[in-house]
């Protein structure tokens, strides 16, 4: 039972799509771009459903035959392009789009093709799709959902309306987690802050035991970091991050901690803290560190994330970051 009203954030994009529907000026091709979890599939699906709704409004009615077909996953004129390999090949496009697109819609005003992970389209597949985008039938609409826009050919980009998904306001995400997912206040706030404005990630963090455990593990180091030797911190963090893929999550949790230290130092208001249940430890660190010291730590963490993305030696990147934390522990 999805419609635009249930989507969190992305107001300007929803307004753009609803204006296109109401003015009957829908483009033949759109690229919806945003990282995993930002809501690309939901947005594309709701747009397709609304276009086909028999009521013809800017919100899907959720009652007509077309809406019910969409909700049951059986809409004949909304086609989700599938692929079995790591990339989407030219045959996938030829069979599922090009060979099918000239067959008129069964009983809808449009035929909508949704290609998820369109950044996995090979160059040949993109070129095959380009011919269709250049001369589509009147009723055809192609929605390309991409995480990484740079993998799309300039010729495709120039012929599509590009919709970039922006991070959603953290307060909106927090309220959404509390009302729709019944997540407690403090947990919703932490998940929203940690998600970087990505609703999908926020839902995952708020309901994941693994995330809670990760938070507990990193808190143990952060609370006692001033009393630990550098080699103890290094080995502690390495144990935690034996799965190197999760190191960025650990650094982000640490960043939120030092932002709390800075916030408490500046305002002395515990209500503004994310880790407010750790007030005793945050208070001690706020009192023993200088503003410059905390800012140096935050910069070192941001730098570590950049180094890790650039494939700098893992151990070196982490040790340099921890060394800065130790050097700025007391002033």
Please provide the size of the chain in residues: 331
pLDDT of residue 134 exceeding 70, the answer is: yes
pLDDT at 31: 93
pLDDT tens per residue, range 231-269: 777 777 767 666 565 777 888 888 888 888 999 989 988
Whole-prediction pTM value? 0.75
pLDDT at 248: 78
pLDDT at 244: 60
Average pLDDT of span 180-194: 84
Q: What domains appear along the chain, each with residue ranges and CATH number?
A: 4-164 (3.40.50.300), 208-327 (1.20.272)
Average pLDDT of span 176-187: 86
pLDDT at 241: 63
pLDDT at 240: 65
Q: Which residue do the tokens 């107001």 mark?
A: 11
Residue 17 pLDDT grade (very low, low, confident, very high; cuts 50, 70, 90): very high
């Amino acid at each position: 039972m999805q419609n635009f009203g249930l989507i969190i954030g992305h107001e300007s994009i929803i307004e753009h799509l609803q204006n296109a529907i109401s003015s009957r000026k829908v483009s033949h091709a759109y690229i919806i771009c945003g990282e995993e979890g930002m809501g690309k599939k939901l947005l594309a699906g709701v747009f397709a459903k609304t276009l086909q709704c028999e009521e013809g409004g800017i919100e899907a009615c959720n009652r007509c035959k077309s809406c019910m077909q969409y909700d049951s996953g059986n809409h004949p004129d909304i086609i989700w392009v599938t692929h079995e390999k790591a990339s989407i090949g030219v045959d996938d496009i030829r069979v599922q789009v090009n060979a099918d697109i000239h067959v008129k819609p069964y009983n809808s005003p449009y035929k909508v093709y949704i290609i998820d992970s369109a950044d996995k389209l090979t160059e040949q597949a993109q070129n095959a799709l380009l011919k269709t985008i250049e001369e589509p039938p009147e009723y055809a609409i192609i929605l390309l959902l991409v995480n990484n826009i740079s993998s799309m050919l300039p010729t495709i980009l120039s012929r599509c309306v590009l919709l970039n998904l922006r991070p959603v306001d953290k307060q909106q995400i927090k309220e959404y987690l509390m009302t729709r997912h019944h997540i407690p206040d403090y947990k919703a706030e932490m998940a929203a802050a940690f998600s970087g404005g990505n609703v999908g990630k926020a839902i995952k963090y708020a309901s994941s035991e693994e995330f809670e455990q990760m938070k507990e593990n990193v808190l143990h180091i952060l609370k006692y970091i001033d009393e630990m030797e550098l080699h103890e911190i290094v080995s502690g963090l390495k144990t935690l991050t034996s799965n190197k893929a999760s190191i960025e999550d650990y650094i982000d949790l640490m960043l939120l901690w030092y932002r709390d230290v800075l916030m408490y130092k500046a305002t002395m208001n515990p209500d503004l803290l994310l880790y407010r249940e750790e007030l005793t430890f945050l208070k001690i660190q706020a009192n023993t560190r200088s503003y410059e010291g905390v800012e140096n730590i935050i910069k070192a963490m941001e730098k570590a994330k950049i180094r890790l993305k650039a494939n700098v030696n893992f151990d070196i990147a982490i040790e340099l970051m921890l060394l800065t934390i130790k050097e700025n522990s007391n002033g």
